[in-house]
Structure 1
Amino acid sequence: MPTEWFRDTNFRAKTLATIGNVQDVLNEYAALGFDLSLRQVHYRLVAQGLWPNTDKAYKNLGNIIRKARDAGMLDWDMIVDRGRKTHWKGTWDDPSDIMYSVVRSFKIDKWAGQDWHVEVMVEKEALEGVLIPVCEELQVRLSPNKGYSSASMMYKIGQRLLGKSEEDKFITIIYLGDHDPSGLDMDEDIENRLELYSDGVIDVVRVALTYDQIEQYQPPPNPTKMKDSRAKAYVQRFGQVSWELDALEPQYIANLITEHVTGERDEEAWAEAVAQQEAERQKIQDIIDQWGEDDDEDDDED
């Protein structure tokens, strides 16, 4: 995990203490296999009583982390920006490299023999780093958003779900979003639009962020955005405070997804699919091993 020095900064003692706190948070979650966004780091410090929960403090933390990275004090890979990406198609140096990667990459659709089709949707693209590993392990599609889903995205997902309905599968969308005026509306909006585009019954299950979770875990509150057209009705129910999904512990979110996804599947059928996948992988490995032996024989003849 790289740190690189680019320039010195004379940090005050208080700022050095904050950098140390940030490093502790990053180390803790790296040990669990998570990289964090800036907002997640912010909320982890807020939850520990080490940082104020204000927009000004959030921006200030970003500046501190940027300067600490430039000074070689924080790892560049442990804080990620998922909103900005560079696209590149990978290359291979040798045919054998791609041959051996095929075994690891080969997967069958383990949900094919299940009665349910399950997908995960999340309001926050910034939570990809938490959700991608667990969704890949559970072999469910993950659709991150930036607020409300676009019409193009909803149509594409709806058409995919139409195909699953035609296979006589029950469909569940596990949804995670903020607890604020628009956030509480999004899962209903998704259900309505997906049922429109799939011409079927879609069960959208909101697993976070719920008011029960807020009462139990006490995430730091934020002021409700009163410019939101849904704010009046929201304030009547919950007051002038809202909460962000990012404030929940990453491990808790991952466990939540695992619990709800595995609750929808037949474990006996799943185990059979896993065994089938391993048998197919072994067939591929045998072909590769034979290819390697034939290649060695050709070299000897030369």
Structure 2
Amino acid sequence: MSEITPSRKTGRPKGYIANYQPQTKTLALLDAVDMVLTEYREHWPLTIRHVFYRLVGAYGYPKDESFYSKLIDHIGNARRGRVIPFNAIRDDGVVTHRMDHFDDQNHFLRHVRVLGENYHRNMLANQNLHVEVWCEAAGMLSQLFKVSREFSVQAYSSGGFDSLTAKKDLADRICEIAKPTVILHLGDYDPSGKSVTVDLKRIPLTADQMFRYSLPTAAQEDRQPHRAMGG
């Protein structure tokens, strides 16, 4: 078998950056990022989008694609330079399917033992209502689930105008459960955030909340097909 070699050489270092020396402006940005990470330490890992919006709202950084792209690069380099802990940031770029395959019988028995040790009764099983919580921003799902799981409430994410398949799956699930259903929805105050096809109780974002907290609106360019700035 022939050796595997890189197809091309670039000046950008790979893996960890041993001598990471950011410029003065970058250091100032990373200091602000560190303050955001410290503020939200109990919610780690955060997405870069979470950090972006906090920098915009609390530290006056611009809400545009250019700054967001730079932030992605700087945070990536800072993680590789061991300035930002890897477990502080969540990258949601990999999707896979779970395989419950086992090396042998002992492996399976260990798996069953762990399942038993982590048994949790479904708190909705004997309730008259079925409850779900939905959010537009996929980056919110991890933090949202940390709260909802304590009540046996499943959390879902479906940004923008979700698929017909997702709507059909929701309808089938509600019919199978055969209970009156309450869906708590967290979404943007925009067309995709307000146009829903099921009865639900909207929590955020509402017009009253926008005025009460003086929330900034998305830049016009953010309303184009790219959704990274939309939450």
Q: Structure 1 length as normaliser, TM-score?
A: 0.62
What is the CA distance between 1:130 and its match in structure 2? 1.2
AA aligned opposite 1:17: A
Query: Are residues 95 and 152 of structure 1, via their aligned partners in 2, closer, same or farther at CA, if it must alter by over 3 Å?
Result: closer
AA aligned opposite 1:10: Q
Find 2:164's aligned residue among 134, 151, 173: 151
What is the alpha-carbon distance in structure 1 between the residues aligned to residue 50 and residue 223 of structure 2?
Answer: 25
AA aligned opposite 2:28: A
Q: Counterpart of 1:84?
A: 94
What is the alpha-carbon distance in structure 2 between the residues aligned to residue 217 and residue 43 of structure 1?
Answer: 15
What is the alpha-carbon distance in structure 1 between the residues aligned to residue 118 and residue 163 of structure 2?
Answer: 31
What is the CA distance between 1:8 and its match in structure 2? 3.2
What is the alpha-carbon distance in structure 2 between the residues aligned to residue 227 and residue 15 of structure 1?
Answer: 28
Q: Deviations over 1:37-64 (max 9, x none)?
A: 1111011111212422222111111111
Query: Are residues 227 and 40 of structure 1, via their aligned partners in 2, closer, same or farther at CA, if it must alter by over 3 Å?
Result: closer
- Do the aligned residues in 2 keep the contact of 1:179 with 1:244 (CA within 8 Å)? no
Q: Counterpart of 2:8?
A: none
- Do the aligned residues in 1 keep the contact of 2:128 with 2:180 (CA within 8 Å)? yes
Query: Are residues 62 and 10 of structure 1, via their aligned partners in 2, closer, same or farther at CA, if it must alter by over 3 Å?
Result: same
Query: Are residues 33 and 227 of structure 1, via their aligned partners in 2, closer, same or farther at CA, if it must alter by over 3 Å?
Result: closer
What is the CA distance between 1:244 and its match in structure 2? 4.7
Higher relative contact order (CA 8 A, sep 6+): 1
State which structure, 1 or 2, has the greater radius of gyration over its C-alpha atoms. 1
Query: Are residues 171 and 87 of structure 1, via their aligned partners in 2, closer, same or farther at CA, if it must alter by over 3 Å?
Result: closer
Pairwise CA RMSD: 2.6
SS in 1 for 2:203: strand
Counterparts in 2 of 1:281-300, with a 5 A limit?
none
Aligned residues with identical type, % of pairs: 28
How many positions carry a matched residue from both structures?
A: 210
AA aligned opposite 1:115: N
**Structure 2: gaps (5+ residues):** 1-14
Q: Counting helix residues as a fraction of each chain, which structure ranks higher?
A: 1
- Do the aligned residues in 2 keep the contact of 1:120 with 1:173 (CA within 8 Å)? yes
- Do the aligned residues in 2 keep the contact of 1:37 with 1:126 (CA within 8 Å)? yes
Find 2:205's aligned residue among 194, 205, 209: 209
Q: Counterpart of 1:18?
A: 29
What is the CA distance between 1:224 and its match in structure 2? 4.1
Matched, 1:40 2:36: no
Q: Counterpart of 1:278?
A: none
AA aligned opposite 1:28: E
What is the alpha-carbon distance in structure 2 between the residues aligned to residue 176 and residue 144 of structure 1?
Answer: 9
What is the alpha-carbon distance in structure 1 between the residues aligned to residue 17 and residue 110 of structure 2?
Answer: 35
Find 2:136's aligned residue among 123, 147, 159: 123
- Do the aligned residues in 1 keep the contact of 2:223 with 2:230 (CA within 8 Å)? no
Q: Counterpart of 1:52?
A: 62
Q: Counterpart of 2:177?
A: 164
What is the CA distance between 1:36 and its match in structure 2? 1.1
SS in 2 for 1:135: helix
- Do the aligned residues in 2 keep the contact of 1:180 with 1:224 (CA within 8 Å)? no
